[in-house]
C-alpha cells in the first residue's frame, strides 16, 4: 500500500463508438445487427474494384453532436485520410479515417467522482469506418485452435467515431466513471446504443505511472480488449500494479501494446510485430473535404438535449431531491423522463424517486430491460403510490402489487380487485369484527387493561386473521384501544 | 460493305435512314476483329454473342420507331479496367484474370441507356500502368500502322481497336496520358475531360486524383457524341462535379478566329523528335492561317510534372491496389500456410513487374520519415504547377503541344528502361496533374508512315475551347489515312 501510494497513474482513453445511423458511413447498405453473414454488403463496403465511397451526412451530423456535447471545437474544414494496413477484416486494406485534420478537438468531459469532479480533456473526436468481423471456426473460437477463418463484412463500413482523451485520468475508478459518464452522455444524444456487449462501445487505454506530484510522464503501455466497465477498471488496476513492480525492481517499463485477458485478469504483451505499424496516412483522394458552415454547426447544437450534469442540477432544484437521487435519475435519459412524467400525476417526487431507485431498478436489472421497455406506465405507478397514501393497500402489499404490475402490465386497481387485497378501512365493518374479537378473548383484553402492550398485538393479530390480513392495521388498533378503554 | 471504316456519326445517319441494320454493322465489326485480332491482340475478351444479340434488339427497337441517339447500335470497345456487370474485367492482370464484376460502372450504365453495342473488353497495360501496352498479362498489343511497334499505353487496346476498325469508338482511362498518348501513336482522337466531369464509379482506380475516363474515336465529332453520353454528375462519385454537362456537339464550330493559343516551351524542347516538332509547327501555321493568335509561353512548373506525377500516382496506386490480397476475390495462392504468406505469394504471383515497381515506389513515398520529402512535397509542387497553368490560361484560351515526343516506338525498345518509358508521357502529364481537359488529334504521318498527334489543352471545364480548336484543326489538317492492315 505504502509502495503504491508513492506512485500515481496517468491514464488516457481511446473510445470507439458505433453510430446508430440507418446506413453505413460510405455506402447505402443498412447497418446490421447479427443477421445472416455478409447480407448487408455492396461493392463499396466489400472493397470491390472500381467502387467509391460517399460520405453519409447523417453520420457527420451525429459525430458533430457528440463533439459539441463534449465541449469540442468543431473544425470547419476537415478531411478524411487513409490508414493503410493489411488485415482480412479490412475490405480495402485501408481504413478511411481522420488524421491531422479531424472533425473536432480540444473539448472536455466533467466526471463526477462524488466528493470531487475530474475534468477529462478530450483531445479529439474524429470519424472513421468500422471493419468487418473475423470468425474463427471451431468450438473455442480461438484463432490458434481453428481450422478456418470466415470474414463477415456486415459490420464493414459502419460509422464509427473515436474519442481520444488527454492523459488526465488518475485512477482506474476515474477511468471507469469517465466511461460511464461518456456512455450516458452519448445515450442522451440518441446517436448510438453504446452496447459494450455488442461491441458498439469499445475502449482502449494508455497508461503509465509516475511518482506522485511529479510532472513528468513515464513510458506508457496500451491496453486493448477492455470491453466492460469492470474489465476497464480491473485491467488498469492490474497494469498499474505491474508497472509499479517493474519500476520498483529497478527495470524500465517497455512501450508496448498489451492485451487484457478477462479470464486471468492480467495483461499480456502482444506480438511486437503488430506494434511497429506504419499506417502511411495520406489524404483520401476519393472524398472531398467537408466544409462546415456556422449555421450548420449551430443548427446541430440546437438538437442537443439537456445533458446529465445539467439535468441532475435541475432535478435537484425543481423537485427538491437529494443530490444523490437526482444524479441517479439524471444519468439515464429514459429514467429521468419517466420520473418527470410521474411528477405530473403525483406530487411527492421523493416517493417516486425511492420507488424508481429501489424496487423498480431491481426488477429492471433482473430482467435486463430498460424503463421504457417495462410494462408499468407512469400513470399506473402513480395510482399505486396514491393507494398506499390513502391506506387502500399497505406498503408491504404494494411491493407485491408492483411486482405483478411489472410482470403482467395490469393496473394496480385491477390487481387489488382480483386478489381481493384491498384493505378493510371501513370503520363499521372493522367495529363489528373487533367486537367479536373482544368477546372471544376476554383474557388478553384483561391483560391489556392491566398495561400489557403485548396483548394488543395478539388482539390485532386476531382481527387480521378474521379479515385474512386485509384490515387496515392502524385503524384496527385505534378502534380496539377505544373500545377496550 | 466495309462499315468498320466509318465513323459513328456516319453509321448513325445510315441507321436512321434505314440503309443499314445494326446487325450488319456488328457482323462487319466482328468479321474485322476475326481478321486482324490474331495480329493485333487489342482485346482481352470479345463479346461476340452479346454484341450480336444486343444488335438484334437494337434493330427491333429501330423498327418500332424508337428514338435513336448518336451511339445507338454503335460498336464500342471498353477498356478492361471499367467494370461491366457479368463480363470479366481483368485490368490486364493475372490478379483479376477471372474477376466478374457484380455491377456496371456509371459510364457503362449511361452507354447502355443509349443501346450501344459492347464488342469486347480492350487490352491495356496491367492496371493502366505503362505507356506501351507491353505490361499486359494477356500479351502486348501491336500498332496497326506497324506491327513491330507499340500502340502506346495504357489504353493501347482501345486505341489500336479504333484505328484498325475493330471498334467504331472506345472508352479508355487517362491517369497520365493513357488515352491521348496511344491515340496519338495510333492516329485517332483521344479526349480526357476535366477531372470530375465523368464519373469514376466503376473504373478500377489506379491513381484516384488523376484518373479520368474518356473517349477514343476516329474524329472529333464522335468524340463530342461520346462526351454527351458519359459526362455528368454522379452522386456515387464524390469527386464528380455537381453541374449539368453542356451539349458538347454544340462546340463543333469551325472558327478559331482571334482565339489565343499558347505553345509551352517546356513541352517543345527536350527529346522531341524533329519530325514531331515539324508537324506541330505545321499545325500552328494552320491555326494562324485561320486567324488564331499563337504565342510561345514558358510554364516553368512543368519541369517538375514527371516527378510530381510519379510520386502522386505511385503513392495512390500503392493504396488503391492494396485490396488485391486474395481474400475476397481474384487470384489467390492456395499453398500458403499463413495469412502473411498468402498475402505475399498472392501479390508476388498476381502482379506483374511494372505494377510491383509502382507499389514499392508508392509505399516508400508514403512511409513515415519519407512522406514529407516525397508525397507531401509532390502535393505542394502540384499546387504550384496548377497555379502556373492557371496563370497561362489568363492569357490563352488553349495550350498546344505535341502529344508524344516521338512516334510509336519499337516493341521492347523501352520496356527495360522505365525512366525513358515514363518520359514518353512528358507532354500529357500536365493535364492530369491539373485536372484539365485535353485532346490529341492526328496531325499527319511521319516519313516512316507513323501517326503524329498534337495535343490541345483547355482550362478547367473549357471543353468548348478544346473541341472548337480540335474540330477546326481536324478539318484544316484533313487527315484521312488508314493503317494498311
Ligand atoms: Zn455497402
Above 80 in pLDDT, residue B269? no
Contact B96 A49 (CB under 8 A): yes
What's the confidence (pLDDT) of residue A473? 79
* Three-state DSSP state, B88: coil
Residue A450, C-beta contacts closer than 8 angstroms, at least 6 positions apart: none
Above 70 in pLDDT, residue A144? no
Q: Who among A88, A278, A285 is closest to B368 (CB)?
A: A278
A429 — contact with chain B (CB < 8 Å)?
no
CB neighbourhood size of A458 (10 A):
16
Q: Which residues of B touch A280 (CB under 8 A)?
A: 318-319, 363, 366-368, 371
Looking at domain B1-485, its CATH architecture is Alpha-Beta Complex (3.90)
> Which residue pairs from B394-397 have beta carbons closer than 8 angstroms and sit at least 24 positions apart in sequence?
B395/B260, B395/B262, B395/B297, B396/B260, B396/B261, B396/B262, B396/B295, B396/B297, B397/B259, B397/B260, B397/B261, B397/B458, B397/B459, B397/B462, B397/B465, B397/B469
SS3 labels along A34-56: CCCCCCCCCCCCCCCCCCCCCCC
Residues A114 and A262 reside in one and the same domain: yes
Please report which confidence band the pLDDT of residue B41 belongs to, taking 50, 70 and 90 as the band edges: very high
Of residues A484 and B276, more confidently modeled? B276
The C-alpha torsion from B358 through B360 and B363 to B368, rounded to 10°, is -140
The parent domain of residue A28 ranges over 2-299
Of A223-227, B228-232, B415-419, B428-432, give the lowest mean pLDDT range: B415-419
Per-residue pLDDT, averaged over A79-90, amounts to: 95
**B129 CA → ligand 1 middle, Å:** 28
- What's the rounded Cα separation, in Å, for the pair A218 and A224? 19
Quick one: closest CA in A to B234, which residue?
A54
Of B32-36, B118-122, B217-221, B421-425, give the lowest mean pLDDT range: B421-425
What's the confidence (pLDDT) of residue A247? 92
Contact B238 A53 (CB under 8 A): yes
Above 90 in pLDDT, residue B385? yes
- Highest mean pLDDT pick, A64-78, A380-394, A426-440: A64-78
- What's the rounded Cα separation, in Å, for the pair B155 and B174? 8
Give residue-wise pLDDT tens across range B147-158.
999 999 999 999
Q: Which residue in A37, A81, A134, A280 has the most chain B C-beta atoms within 10 A of its own C-beta, making it the best mutation to test that interface?
A: A280
Above 90 in pLDDT, residue B241? yes
**B111 CA → ligand 1 middle, Å:** 25
Q: Phi and psi for B481 in degrees, rounded to 5?
A: -80, 150
Quick one: closest CA in B to A84, which residue?
B319
* Percent of chain A whose pLDDT exceeds 90: 64
Give residue-wise pLDDT tens across range A172-227.
999 999 999 999 999 999 999 999 888 999 999 999 999 988 888 889 999 998 98
How does DSSP assign A241-310, residue by residue? Answer: HHHHHHHHTT--PPP-EEEEETTTTEEEEPPGGGTS-----EE-TTSPPEE--HHHHHHHHTT----HHH
Sequence ranges of the domains in chain B: 1-485
Give residue-wise pLDDT tens across range B280-310.
999 999 999 999 999 999 999 999 999 999 9
- Round the CA-based radius of gyration of chain B to a whole number and report it: 21
Burial class (CB in 10 A: 0-12, 13-18, 19+), A328: buried
Contact A282 B315 (CB under 8 A): yes
**CB A282, CB B371: distance < 8 Å:** yes
**CB B131, CB B177: distance < 8 Å:** yes
Of residues B473 and A461, more confidently modeled? B473
Residues A74 and A195 reside in one and the same domain: yes
Q: For A101-214, where are the E strands, in sequence order?
A: 104-112, 117-129, 133-136, 149-152, 159-165, 201-211
Please give the mean pLDDT across all residues of chain A. Answer: 90
What's the confidence (pLDDT) of residue A270? 82
In this structure, what C-alpha cell is assigned to residue B142? 501491336
What's the confidence (pLDDT) of residue B327? 93
Residues A188 and A282 reside in one and the same domain: yes
Per-residue pLDDT, averaged over A131-135, amounts to: 92
Residues A166 and A254 reside in one and the same domain: yes
Its pTM stands at: 0.88
Q: How many domains does chain A have?
A: 3
Query: Which of A419, A442, A473 is the C-terminal boundary of a domain?
Result: A419
Residue A359, C-beta contacts closer than 8 angstroms, at least 6 positions apart: A399, A402, A403
Please give the mean pLDDT across all residues of chain B. Answer: 96
Residues A285 and A336 reside in one and the same domain: no
Inter-chain Cβ pairs, chain A and chain B, closer than 8 A: 98
Contact A287 B238 (CB under 8 A): yes
**A20 CA → ligand 1 middle, Å:** 15
Q: Phi and psi for B184 in degrees, rounded to 5?
A: -65, -45
Nearest to A44 by CA among A228, A287, A209, A258: A287
Residues A218 and A73 reside in one and the same domain: yes
Partners of residue A224 on adjacent β-strands: A259
Residues A22 and A97 reside in one and the same domain: yes
Give residue-wise pLDDT tens across range B165-197.
999 999 999 999 999 999 999 999 999 999 999
In this structure, what C-alpha cell is assigned to residue A404? 405483478
Nearest to B199 by CA among B107, B103, B79: B107
Q: Who among A47, A280, A286 is closest to B239 (CB)?
A: A286
Contact A286 B205 (CB under 8 A): yes
In this structure, what C-alpha cell is assigned to residue A19? 453510430
- What's the rounded Cα separation, in Å, for the pair B74 and B68? 11
**CB B190, CB B180: distance < 8 Å:** yes
**CB A220, CB A208: distance < 8 Å:** yes
Above 60 in pLDDT, residue A257? yes
Nearest to B139 by CA among B206, B283, B33, B39: B39
What's the confidence (pLDDT) of residue A2? 55
**A26 CA → ligand 1 middle, Å:** 7
In this structure, what C-alpha cell is assigned to residue A417? 380487485
Per-residue pLDDT, averaged over A234-249, amounts to: 95
Residues A276 and A216 reside in one and the same domain: yes
A280 — contact with chain B (CB < 8 Å)?
yes
Query: Which of A419, A438, A457 is the C-terminal boundary of a domain?
Result: A419
Catalytic residues of B, by residue number, are: 79, 154, 178
Per-residue pLDDT, averaged over A348-356, amounts to: 94
What's the confidence (pLDDT) of residue B2? 82
**A28 CA → ligand 1 middle, Å:** 6
Widest CA span in chain B: 70
Counting DSSP H helices and E strands in chain A, the numbers are: 17, 16
What's the confidence (pLDDT) of residue A479? 87
Contact A285 B316 (CB under 8 A): yes
Per-residue pLDDT, averaged over A101-117, amounts to: 93
Give residue-wise pLDDT tens across range A34-55.
789 999 999 999 999 999 999 9
Per-residue pLDDT, averaged over A361-386, amounts to: 91
* Percent of chain A whose pLDDT exceeds 70: 95
Of residues B106 and B418, more confidently modeled? B106
What's the confidence (pLDDT) of residue B190? 98
Of A401-405, B1-5, B276-280, B467-471, give the lowest mean pLDDT range: B1-5
Chain B closest-CA separation from residue A18 CA (Å): 23
Residues A441 and A357 reside in one and the same domain: no
What's the confidence (pLDDT) of residue B1? 63
- What's the rounded Cα separation, in Å, for the pair A329 and A333? 8
Nearest to B164 by CA among B42, B51, B79: B42
Nearest to A192 by CA among A18, A345, A438, A367: A18
Q: Which residue in B316, B327, B364, B375 has the most chain A C-beta atoms within 10 A of its own C-beta, making it the best mutation to test that interface?
A: B327
Residue B35, C-beta contacts closer than 8 angstroms, at least 6 positions apart: none
Please report which confidence band the pLDDT of residue A32 belongs to, taking 50, 70 and 90 as the band edges: confident
CA distances from residue B141 to A75, B43, B129, B154, B348 in whole angstroms, order as listed: 51, 8, 14, 10, 24
Q: Vertex A139, ends A137 and A144: CA angle to 5°?
A: 65
Of A229-238, A432-441, B103-112, B287-296, give the lowest mean pLDDT range: A432-441
Residues A156 and A16 reside in one and the same domain: yes
Above 60 in pLDDT, residue A275? no
CB neighbourhood size of B303 (10 A):
13
Per-residue pLDDT, averaged over A3-8, amounts to: 79
In this structure, what C-alpha cell is assigned to residue A230? 469492470
Of residues A319 and A433, more confidently modeled? A319
Q: For B346-391, where are the E strands, in sequence order?
A: none
| CATH code of A480's domain | 1.10.10.410
What's the confidence (pLDDT) of residue A271? 64
Give residue-wise pLDDT tens across range B356-365.
999 999 999 9
**CB A45, CB A168: distance < 8 Å:** no
Q: Which residues of A touch B82 (CB under 8 A)?
A: 50
Amino acid at each position: 500500500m505504502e509502495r503504491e501510494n508513492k506512485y500515481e497513474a496517468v491514464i488516457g482513453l481511446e473510445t470507439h463508438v458505433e453510430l446508430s445511423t440507418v446506413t453505413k458511413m460510405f455506402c447505402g447498405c443498412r447497418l446490421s445487427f447479427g443477421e445472416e453473414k455478409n447480407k448487408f454488403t455492396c461493392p463499396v463496403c466489400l472493397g470491390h474494384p472500381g467502387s467509391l465511397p460517399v460520405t453519409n451526412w447523417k453520420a457527420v451530423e451525429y459525430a458533430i453532436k457528440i463533439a459539441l456535447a463534449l465541449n469540442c471545437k468543431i473544425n470547419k474544414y476537415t478531411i478524411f485520410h487513409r490508414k493503410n494496413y493489411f488485415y482480412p477484416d479490412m475490405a480495402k486494406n485501408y481504413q478511411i479515417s481522420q488524421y491531422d485534420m479531424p472533425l473536432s478537438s480540444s473539448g472536455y468531459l466533467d466526471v463526477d467522482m462524488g466528493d470531487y469532479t475530474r475534468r477529462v480533456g478530450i483531445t479529439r473526436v474524429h470519424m472513421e469506418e468500422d471493419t468487418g468481423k473475423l470468425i474463427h471456426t471451431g468450438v473455442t473460437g480461438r484463432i490458434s485452435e481453428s481450422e478456418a477463418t470466415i470474414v463477415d463484412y456486415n459490420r464493414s463500413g459502419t460509422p464509427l467515431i473515436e474519442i481520444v482523451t488527454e492523459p488526465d485520468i488518475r485512477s482506474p475508478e476515474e477511468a471507469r466513471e469517465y466511461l460511464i459518464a461518456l456512455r450516458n452522455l452519448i445515450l442522451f444524444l440518441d446517436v448510438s446504443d453504446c452496447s459494450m456487449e455488442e461491441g458498439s462501445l469499445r475502449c482502449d487505454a494508455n497508461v503509465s505511472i509516475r511518482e506522485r506530484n511529479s510532472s513528468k510522464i513515464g513510458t506508457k503501455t496500451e491496453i486493448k480488449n477492455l470491453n466492460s466497465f469492470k474489465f476497464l477498471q480491473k485491467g488498469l488496476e492490474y497494469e498499474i500494479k505491474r508497472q509499479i513492480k517493474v519500476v520498483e525492481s529497478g527495470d524500465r517499463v517497455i512501450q508496448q501494446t498489451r492485451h487484457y485477458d478477462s479470464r486471468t485478469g492480467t495483461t499480456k504483451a502482444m506480438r511486437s510485430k503488430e506494434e511497429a505499424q506504419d499506417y502511411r496516412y495520406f489524404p483520401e483522394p476519393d472524398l472531398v473535404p467537408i466544409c462546415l458552415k456556422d449555421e450548420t454547426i449551430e443548427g446541430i447544437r440546437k438538437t442537443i438535449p439537456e445533458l446529465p450534469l445539467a439535468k441532475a442540477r435541475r432535478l435537484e432544484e425543481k423537485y427538491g431531491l437529494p443530490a444523490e437521487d437526482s444524479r441517479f435519475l439524471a444519468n439515464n435519459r429514459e429514467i429521468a423522463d419517466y420520473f418527470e412524467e410521474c411528477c405530473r400525476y403525483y406530487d411527492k417526487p421523493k416517493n417516486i424517486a425511492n420507488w424508481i431507485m429501489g424496487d423498480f431498478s431491481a426488477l429492471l436489472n433482473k430482467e435486463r430491460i430498460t424503463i421504457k421497455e417495462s410494462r408499468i406506465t407512469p400513470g399506473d405507478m402513480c395510482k399505486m403510490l396514491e393507494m398506499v397514501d390513502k391506506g387502500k393497500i399497505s406498503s408491504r402489499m404494494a411491493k407485491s402489487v408492483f411486482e405483478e404490475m411489472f410482470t403482467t402490465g395490469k393496473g394496480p386497481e385491477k390487481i387489488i380487485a382480483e386478489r381481493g387485497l384491498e384493505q378493510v378501512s371501513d370503520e363499521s365493518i372493522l367495529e363489528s369484527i373487533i367486537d367479536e374479537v373482544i368477546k372471544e378473548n376476554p383474557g388478553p383484553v384483561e391483560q391489556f387493561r392491566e398495561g400489557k402492550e403485548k396483548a394488543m398485538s395478539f388482539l390485532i393479530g386476531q382481527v387480521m386473521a378474521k379479515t385474512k390480513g386485509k384490515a387496515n392495521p392502524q385503524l384496527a388498533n385505534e378502534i380496539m384501544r377505544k373500545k377496550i378503554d | 460493305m466495309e462499315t468498320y471504316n466509318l465513323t459513328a456519326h456516319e453509321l448513325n445517319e445510315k441507321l436512321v435512314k434505314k440503309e443499314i441494320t445494326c446487325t450488319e454493322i456488328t457482323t462487319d465489326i466482328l468479321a474485322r476483329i476475326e481478321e486482324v485480332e490474331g495480329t493485333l491482340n487489342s482485346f482481352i475478351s470479345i463479346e461476340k454473342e452479346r454484341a450480336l444479340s444486343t444488335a438484334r434488339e437494337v434493330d427491333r427497337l429501330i423498327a418500332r420507331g424508337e428514338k435513336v441517339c448518336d451511339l445507338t447500335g454503335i460498336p464500342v470497345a471498353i477498356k478492361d479496367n471499367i467494370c461491366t456487370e457479368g463480363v470479366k474485367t481483368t485490368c490486364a492482370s493475372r490478379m483479376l484474370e477471372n474477376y466478374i464484376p457484380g455491377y456496371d460502372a456509371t459510364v457503362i450504365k449511361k452507354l447502355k441507356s443509349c443501346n450501344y453495342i459492347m464488342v469486347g473488353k480492350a487490352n491495356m497495360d496491367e492496371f493502366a500502368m505503362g505507356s506501351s501496352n507491353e505490361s499486359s498479362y494477356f500479351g502486348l498489343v501491336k500498332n496497326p500502322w506497324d506491327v513491330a511497334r507499340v500502340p502506346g499505353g495504357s489504353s493501347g487496346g482501345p486505341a489500336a481497336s479504333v484505328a484498325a476498325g475493330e471498334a467504331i469508338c472506345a472508352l479508355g482511362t487517362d491517369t497520365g496520358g493513357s488515352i491521348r498518348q496511344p491515340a496519338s501513336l495510333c492516329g485517332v482522337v483521344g479526349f480526357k475531360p476535366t477531372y470530375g466531369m465523368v464519373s469514376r464509379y466503376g473504373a478500377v482506380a489506379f491513381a484516384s486524383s488523376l484518373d479520368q475516363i474518356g473517349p477514343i474515336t476516329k474524329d472529333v465529332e464522335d468524340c463530342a457524341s461520346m462526351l454527351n453520353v458519359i459526362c455528368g454528375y454522379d452522386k456515387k462519385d464524390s469527386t464528380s462535379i455537381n453541374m449539368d454537362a453542356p451539349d458538347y456537339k454544340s462546340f463543333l464550330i469551325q472558327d478559331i478566329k482571334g482565339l489565343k493559343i499558347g505553345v509551352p516551351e517546356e513541352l517543345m524542347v527536350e527529346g522531341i523528335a524533329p519530325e514531331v516538332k515539324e508537324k506541330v509547327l505545321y499545325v500552328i501555321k494552320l491555326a494562324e492561317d485561320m486567324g488564331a493568335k499563337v504565342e510561345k509561353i514558358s510554364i516553368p512548373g512543368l519541369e517538375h510534372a514527371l516527378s510530381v506525377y510519379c510520386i502522386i500516382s505511385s503513392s495512390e496506386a500503392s493504396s488503391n491496389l492494396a485490396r488485391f490480397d486474395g481474400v475476397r476475390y481474384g487470384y489467390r495462392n492456395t499453398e500458403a500456410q499463413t495469412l502473411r504468406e498468402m498475402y505475399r505469394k498472392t501479390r508476388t504471383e498476381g502482379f506483374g513487374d511494372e505494377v510491383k515497381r509502382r507499389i514499392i515506389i508508392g509505399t516508400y513515398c508514403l512511409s513515415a520519415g519519407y512522406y514529407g520529402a516525397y508525397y507531401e512535397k509532390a502535393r505542394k509542387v502540384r499546387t504550384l504547377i496548377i497555379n502556373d497553368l492557371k496563370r497561362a490560361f489568363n492569357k490563352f484560351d488553349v495550350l498546344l503541344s505535341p502529344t508524344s515526343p516521338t512516334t510509336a516506338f519499337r516493341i521492347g525498345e523501352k520496356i527495360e528502361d522505365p525512366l525513358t518509358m515514363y518520359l514518353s508521357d512528358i507532354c500529357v502529364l500536365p493535364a492530369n496533374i491539373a485536372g484539365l481537359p485535353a485532346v490529341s488529334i492526328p496531325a499527319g504521318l511521319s516519313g516512316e508512315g507513323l501517326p503524329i498527334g498534337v495535343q490541345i489543352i483547355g482550362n478547367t471545364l473549357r471543353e468548348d475551347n478544346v473541341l472548337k480548336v480540335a474540330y477546326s484543326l481536324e478539318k484544316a489538317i484533313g487527315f484521312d489515312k488508314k493503317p494498311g492492315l
